[in-house]
């Protein structure tokens, strides 16, 4: 009888410790996500109960692996029960993190594991929009080859091409304009096309490129403003 009572007491002491340890591992995992500490994530991976835990901003370990380019960790996570399209608090995905930081091997691994290439974040930006705005031309080329839709608008109606023009990303612009799915005269919420924006930016090279690819020079925006091309660009 004494032996059973002693065992019961021991179990009572061990149970809270086990629970505390589990919480500790979870908190360590979340801390590692917040700090983008891939070494800690690798160390904790064999003992974490849920690899899809998110920090206060909604970031996951997969997003950390993608943004840092740690493809070893990323592949380990993808081989586990990992949700590849889980989003952070602003609708961002691991693929978007990879695209923004030009982590091409990470993007390749994510797409090979069926990441949704055309998901939109809270602001309407896709992985392609992010890569285009950042000037990551190799990433843009890869995403287009693997089904990225160049015509998806953000909340202001701006496309990846418009964002690339806004930021002066000439190599990205070339990739987008030569894509056979591009709707070159698509307009934003103000009725402006890519050619409107290029004219406003006084970007002569892009104006010529757009016109060469058939952009409509006669389009008017919603205020009936015509496309005013600088004499220097004619």
Q: What is the pLDDT of residues 137-190, one digit of tens each?
A: 999 999 999 999 999 999 999 999 999 999 999 999 999 999 999 999 999 999
Please give the Cα distance from 209 to 161 (Å, whole number): 12
Residue with tokens 């843009």: 140
The domains located in the chain, with CATH, are: 32-116 (1.25.40.20)
User: Which tokens hold the place of 137?
Assistant: 């031309």
The answer to whether 70 and 38 are in contact (CB under 8 A) is yes
Tell me the torsion sign for CA atoms 172, 66, 150, 89: negative
Axis-axis angle for helices 137-145, 104-112 (nearest 10) = 20
Alpha helices in 80-193 (DSSP H): 94-100, 104-112, 127-134, 137-145, 160-166, 170-177
Cβ(43)–Cβ(51) under 8 Å? no
How far apart, in whole angstroms, are the C-alpha atoms of residue 77 and residue 71? Answer: 10
Please report, in tens digits, the pLDDT of each residue of the chain (234 residues total). Answer: 445 454 444 444 444 444 434 558 999 999 999 999 999 999 999 999 999 999 999 999 999 999 999 999 999 999 998 999 999 999 999 999 999 999 999 999 999 999 999 999 999 999 999 999 999 999 999 999 999 999 999 999 999 999 999 999 999 999 999 999 999 999 999 999 999 999 999 999 999 999 999 999 999 999 999 999 988 888
Exposure of 194 in the CB half-sphere (CA atoms within 13 A): 33
Q: Is the pTM of this model over 0.75?
A: yes
Residue 31 C-beta-side C-alpha neighbours within 13 Å: 8
**pLDDT tens digit sequence for 193-203:** 999 999 999 99
Residues 127/117, Cβ–Cβ less than 8 Å: yes
Whats the size of the chain, residue-wise? Answer: 234
């Amino acid at each position: 009888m004494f032996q059973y009572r002693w065992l019961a007491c021991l179990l009572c002491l061990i149970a809270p410790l086990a629970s505390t340890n589990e919480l500790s591992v979870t908190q360590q995992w979340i801390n590692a996500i917040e700090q983008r500490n891939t070494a800690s994530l690798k160390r904790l991976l064999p003992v974490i109960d849920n690899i899809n835990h998110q920090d206060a901003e909604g970031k996951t370990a997969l997003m950390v692996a993608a943004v840092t380019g740690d493809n070893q960790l990323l592949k380990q996570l993808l081989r586990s029960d990992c949700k590849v399209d889980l989003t952070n608090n602003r609708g961002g995905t691991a693929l978007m993190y990879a695209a923004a930081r030009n982590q091409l091997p990470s993007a390749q691994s994510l797409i090979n594991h069926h990441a949704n290439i055309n998901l939109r974040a809270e602001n309407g930006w896709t992985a392609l929009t992010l890569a285009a705005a950042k000037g990551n031309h190799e990433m843009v080329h890869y995403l287009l080859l693997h089904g990225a839709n160049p015509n998806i608008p953000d909340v202001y109606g701006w496309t990846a091409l418009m964002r690339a023009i806004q930021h002066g990303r000439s190599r990205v612009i070339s990739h987008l304009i030569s894509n056979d799915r591009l709707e070159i005269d698509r307009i934003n919420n103000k009725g402006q096309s890519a050619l409107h924006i290029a004219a406003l930016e006084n970007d002569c090279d892009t104006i010529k490129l757009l016109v060469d690819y058939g952009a409509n020079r006669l389009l008017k925006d919603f205020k009936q403003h015509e496309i005013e091309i600088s004499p220097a660009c004619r």
